[in-house]
Structure 1
Amino acid sequence: MATMPQQASPYTHWSQSQPPGALDHIPGENGLPIVGNTFSLLADPIGFSNRMRARYGNVFRNRAFGRNSVLLFGAEANELVLFDRDKLFSSEQGWGPVLDQLFPRGLMLLDFDHHRADRRALSIAFKPEPMRHYCGALNSGISARVEQWRGQRLKFYPAIKQLTLDLAADSFLGVPLGPEADAINKAFVDMVAASIGVVRKPLPFTAMGRGVAGRKFLLEYFTRETEKRRAAGGGQDMFSQFATATHEDGSLMPVDEVVDHMIFLMMAAHDTITSSASSLVWLLAKHPEWQDRLSAELLAVTGGEGRPLAYEDLGKVSLTEMAFKESLRLIPPVPSLPRRALRDFEFGGYRIPAGTGVGISPADVHMDPRHWPEPEKFDPMRFTPEEVAKRHKYAWVPFGGGAHMCLGLHFAYMQVKVLMAQILTRYRIEIAPGYEPRWQAWPIPKPRDGLTVTFTPR
């Protein structure tokens, strides 16, 4: 168990290193010279963590991506870090080495009072009236695209990625993307890929170089759009809500902050929902009996094939929600979460000094048999209210937790429920016998071959 934090001490910026030997009392290994364990971690993060845990236990040190860190495992570790009762951990300094050149000042990278103030200002975009507006846009946009898939054998991942970008433009921006659409998509792809680039400087022909160029393009695009929205006085779309958001004193959020928040949330809506929808479609294709159960539920609620799932009916599709939660357990869209310790603390019998990078793993705890019997099995019934009440609250954390719980989680639920209503009332999702896609785990899980499925009319 964690102890109370020791007396506060000054902490260094994340770019500065720990003194040599500061973590030597913690078991673990640094890996190869210069690169550490980076390549092992990228190749098989779950396998790597399982090997390290078997050797060293639930607390161990590691070196990857040019920095030393301590990894903590288990629901108790998740609670300590995510709930952060004593404000021990900085999200900004944890994510900084990974994202500061790409998504600085995104809501996930802010701490404490700054995070609270910006979260409050941005939350207006997720109130019931805007959400009802988004639900209507999602229903019409998804229905039109899904109808085009009738009888088609296609690679689902690129298809849903394009659809989520189009939906984000409609719901978030309020306008269809113009000729910039391909460039916007490329910018997001390059920025996400750069987050795990081994070379951390934006040199030409490197992943980080392409990612920083993508960010420059998006900064220019969203700055122009923010100024247009303010001149127009706002609107129902999410971007207009952000552009006219105010702090508690009534002041408008600065344009550069609006732009950074919009870029980050567009990435989250674009890439994490693409990943989550792909994992759910894959698991339903493997388990057709669950397709039938969800189809029956969605038909009963919507009243027929391809009909809209109304905003007021989102809470009625409980089996669909449970299946989505189980897919998020098996393939969480954010497999690990970094922080940095602001003060010394203790966990698992080890003193961890201020300034240490600290990581937890949703992907690992989601497969812990102490909380999940037969963890490899797809079983949405794990998420009945009775089963949820029996489990540690932090055994399932695909959306994070505590103050940094994902602001857009209800939007994600809504989009996936609407997507399932439009697909499963029309089609059976089928795969070739024995087909198993290989999943790339980091930075956001995706099927390497695109996930080939067939949409067969029911």
Structure 2
Amino acid sequence: MPGITESLLDGVLSVLPDVRALPLPHVLLLLLLLLLLPLLLLLYRASSGGGAGIGGLPGPKPMYPLIGSALLMPSDMTEILNVLMGWSKEFQGCFHLKLGSDYVIINTPEAAEVVLSSNQHIQKGEEYDGLKPWLGDGLLISAGSKWHKRRKMLTPAFHFSILDQFMTAFNEQSKVLVSKLRETNGQRTDVFPYITKATLDIICEATMGVQIKAQQGARSDYVRAVYRMGEISFFRFLKPWLRSDFLFRRTSLYQSQQECLKLLHGFTDSVIQSRREELSKSKDASETPQTSPQGRKRLALLDLLLASTIDGRPLSDADIREEVDTFMFEGHDTTSAGANWTLYNLGRHPGIQQRAFEEVRDVLGDDDRPVTREDLSRLQYLEMVIKESLRLFPPVPMIGRRLNSDVVIDGCSVPQRCRIGLLVYAIHRDPRHWPDPDTFDPERFSPEASRGRHPFSYVPFSAGPRNCIGQKFALMEEKVLIATVLRNFKITSHDKREDIKLRADVILRLEGGLWLSFAPRH
């Protein structure tokens, strides 16, 4: 075999001096061979042992050089979690998977702690690269000093004293949601679009200070563009050959991505420009970011970004856009998924739903007053319900990281070149920490049951130094949304767990819709 590649190379080189004398078809063939030579050499080296797996860790045997087991990953997005969970059970813990790059799939809390608790391994994995055209180097994707500086700058925007000002938006948009659900007249309804539009209205108002009225039918194009960008990003990760920009730009997916980016970036740019002009007209230069000349509460994020400096320099519009887009993506899509799955579980378990409703009624009373911050701290059982839903259906089913040095995982030395996939969906089902893991039981999160549990057995918002900066915002929003729906409707789920198909892309969704019915309580 070594002689074949070397002979091919010698043969091509031998004709180079006489290339001008060759017919055009032969010249084109020669150029093609020259382009293919690097690939042929890599294939040879890989087939000769260069693509060996990670010593000591089990895993599916790579089918082909370079791309490894990529062809074992189903094109049907509803089968991906089933395949990964099957391998987790087959190989009894963490395993090695070759998808172009070498991956170690982590599915135990103990192994997750090694990576998530580290201040060294905080760089996101290459599966996030597909989001860069949209989110740039925002807080989700950035690394190193840029991430540290941005995180420090943005942390004050998520202090409880700042989050309190969003309670009005939570309540107002939750009431709009209730009015829309009433229009379903108790009929079987796909609730996912309803919740998605409600969370989009909330995050637009909280992040950018604009009301896009998605629940009234506006900006449905924005919602579709957000979904499409997530799908394209995840598909590129699963198919290693599409990670090449050269190949990707020659597909219909690239054209679809460009159309989405034009819409998404255009909307954000227009809001930033409008806000800059508004601030420049303000007569009170000493005005704080939290109040306006009219006494209106200002949003924390966009105003904070416009007023911030890093190393003495103000942020550019491009800097601001990547952070605003990041929070638009993370702040509405993940929260929407969490709220949807909570409603689904409440509809599947009438006894649990009744107990949660009674708590809401006891705390809020029978009138229609807004939910307050003080109320949220008293809705303890509802919080347990939400947390158990996030355990069973984590909005982000897998987290990717890049190692910055060799590390020992499950007793095996994993080299720096490897990528890490933290399979949150499996970590949340580890039977050593979650007995009868597929059963919905909010009591798992009672103070008594939670005591002594492994801190990395529950990571819906990641954990460690790179945990989700907006998790308090998300839990507050979900509590208000769910409490408002519960006090108005009795919820029924129409699909059994074994009948639904989970669609694992960037966010955990449900194939074919989430069908519930909402019967008015009064």
Judge same fold: TM > 0.5, yes or no. Answer: yes
Shifted more, 116-125 versus 279-288: the winner is 116-125
Q: Provide closer, same or farther for how the CA distance between residues 245 and 149 of structure 1 changes in structure 2, counting only shifts above 3 A.
A: same
In 2: Cα distance, 1:245 partner to 1:81 partner = 35
Shifted more, 134-143 versus 323-332: the winner is 134-143
Q: Provide closer, same or farther for how the CA distance between residues 269 and 399 of structure 1 changes in structure 2, counting only shifts above 3 A.
A: same
Q: Provide closer, same or farther for how the CA distance between residues 298 and 99 of structure 1 changes in structure 2, counting only shifts above 3 A.
A: same
Shifted more, 263-272 versus 110-119: the winner is 110-119
Moved over 6 A (4+): 16-19
2:387 to 321, 325, 332: 325
1:299 to 339, 361, 381: 361
- In the other structure, the counterpart of 1:69 is 103
1:99 to 106, 128, 131: 131
- Residue identity opposite 2:72 in structure 1: N
- Residue identity opposite 1:224 in structure 2: S
- Residue identity opposite 1:190 in structure 2: R
The structure that has the greater radius of gyration is: 2
In 2: Cα distance, 1:72 partner to 1:421 partner = 35
- In the other structure, the counterpart of 1:123 is 155
- In the other structure, the counterpart of 2:197 is 162
SS in 2 for 1:23: coil
* 1:305 to partner: Cα distance: 4.7
Shifted more, 396-405 versus 145-154: the winner is 145-154
Which runs of 5 or more structure 2 residues have no equivalent in the other structure? Answer: 1-41, 280-288, 293-297
* 1:242 to partner: Cα distance: 4.1
* 1:209 to partner: Cα distance: 3.6
| TM-superposition CA deviations, 1:86-105 (whole Å, max 9, x none) | x1x24234444443334331
Q: Provide closer, same or farther for how the CA distance between residues 84 and 41 of structure 1 changes in structure 2, counting only shifts above 3 A.
A: farther
* 1:359 to partner: Cα distance: 1.3
- Residue identity opposite 2:511 in structure 1: R
| TM-superposition CA deviations, 1:293-332 (whole Å, max 9, x none) | 1111111222225431112322111111110000000000
Q: Provide closer, same or farther for how the CA distance between residues 219 and 193 of structure 1 changes in structure 2, counting only shifts above 3 A.
A: same
Maintained 8 Å contact 2:343/2:491: yes
- In the other structure, the counterpart of 1:8 is none
Maintained 8 Å contact 2:134/2:325: no
SS in 1 for 2:135: coil
- In the other structure, the counterpart of 1:210 is 256
SS in 1 for 2:133: coil
Q: Provide closer, same or farther for how the CA distance between residues 91 and 44 of structure 1 changes in structure 2, counting only shifts above 3 A.
A: farther
* 1:451 to partner: Cα distance: 1.3
In 1: Cα distance, 2:495 partner to 2:326 partner = 39
SS in 2 for 1:304: coil
2:475 aligned with 1:440, yes or no? no
- In the other structure, the counterpart of 2:51 is 21
In 1: Cα distance, 2:72 partner to 2:465 partner = 31
* 1:438 to partner: Cα distance: 2.5
Maintained 8 Å contact 2:302/2:324: no
- In the other structure, the counterpart of 1:257 is 319
1:388 to 435, 450, 455: 450
In 2: Cα distance, 1:168 partner to 1:217 partner = 17
In 1: Cα distance, 2:384 partner to 2:253 partner = 37
- In the other structure, the counterpart of 2:94 is 59
TM-score, length basis structure 1 = 0.88
- In the other structure, the counterpart of 2:164 is 132
- In the other structure, the counterpart of 2:13 is none
- Residue identity opposite 1:399 in structure 2: F
SS in 2 for 1:62: strand
Maintained 8 Å contact 1:75/1:392: yes
| TM-superposition CA deviations, 1:374-397 (whole Å, max 9, x none) | 111111111112222220000000
2:258 aligned with 1:226, yes or no? no
In 2: Cα distance, 1:55 partner to 1:419 partner = 40
Maintained 8 Å contact 1:31/1:37: no
Shifted more, 197-206 versus 308-317: the winner is 197-206
Count of paired positions: 440
SS in 2 for 1:276: helix
- In the other structure, the counterpart of 1:189 is 227
- In the other structure, the counterpart of 2:492 is 430
* 1:158 to partner: Cα distance: 1.2
Q: Provide closer, same or farther for how the CA distance between residues 159 and 96 of structure 1 changes in structure 2, counting only shifts above 3 A.
A: closer
TM-score, length basis structure 2 = 0.78
Q: Provide closer, same or farther for how the CA distance between residues 226 and 434 of structure 1 changes in structure 2, counting only shifts above 3 A.
A: closer
* 1:399 to partner: Cα distance: 0.2
- In the other structure, the counterpart of 1:49 is 84
In 1: Cα distance, 2:455 partner to 2:102 partner = 29
In 1: Cα distance, 2:198 partner to 2:128 partner = 30
| TM-superposition CA deviations, 1:57-88 (whole Å, max 9, x none) | 42322123x43312223111111111114x1x
Q: Provide closer, same or farther for how the CA distance between residues 61 and 102 of structure 1 changes in structure 2, counting only shifts above 3 A.
A: farther
Counterparts in 2 of 1:393-408, with a 5 A limit?
393-408=455-470
SS in 1 for 2:308: coil
- Residue identity opposite 2:199 in structure 1: T
The Cα RMSD (Å) is 2.7
SS in 2 for 1:423: helix
In 2: Cα distance, 1:381 partner to 1:112 partner = 40
Q: Provide closer, same or farther for how the CA distance between residues 55 and 443 of structure 1 changes in structure 2, counting only shifts above 3 A.
A: same
In 2: Cα distance, 1:78 partner to 1:167 partner = 32
In 1: Cα distance, 2:359 partner to 2:152 partner = 35
Maintained 8 Å contact 1:122/1:245: no
**Per residue, is there more helix in 1 or in 2?**
2
SS in 1 for 2:104: strand
SS in 1 for 2:490: strand
- In the other structure, the counterpart of 1:345 is 407
SS in 2 for 1:101: helix
Maintained 8 Å contact 1:308/1:421: no
- In the other structure, the counterpart of 1:84 is 118
Shifted more, 426-435 versus 291-300: the winner is 426-435
Q: Provide closer, same or farther for how the CA distance between residues 156 and 375 of structure 1 changes in structure 2, counting only shifts above 3 A.
A: same
SS in 2 for 1:28: coil
* 1:208 to partner: Cα distance: 4.5
Maintained 8 Å contact 1:306/1:422: no
